[in-house]
Amino acid sequence: MLILALSVCLAQEPATCKVVQLPFFAEHVPASECTRYGEPEAKRWLEAHPGWTLRRSACVASRGPEGAA
């Protein structure tokens, strides 16, 4: 499974940032395409969390039995 990692920052406090990890369950999506296919997930997260802005996104392989990265 891939994890879509979003680096997000508060719009009103750009120095306040965090990384949000979203499980990415798309089947048959190569890792090289994960970010493109993950764009709708990132957009949904941003819509649900007003006040945050996306700085960057990346896809990483999950680690461990719980799927934590």
What's the rounded Cα separation, in Å, for the pair 14 and 16? 5
Beta bridge partners of 52: 10
- Is pLDDT at 67 greater than 60 in this prediction? no
Segment 7-19 shows an average pLDDT of 96
SS3 50: coil
- Is pLDDT at 58 greater than 50 in this prediction? yes
Q: Between 28 and 60, name the one with better pLDDT.
A: 60
Token couple for 33 = 């395409």
What's the rounded Cα separation, in Å, for the pair 69 and 63? 5
Global confidence as pTM: 0.76
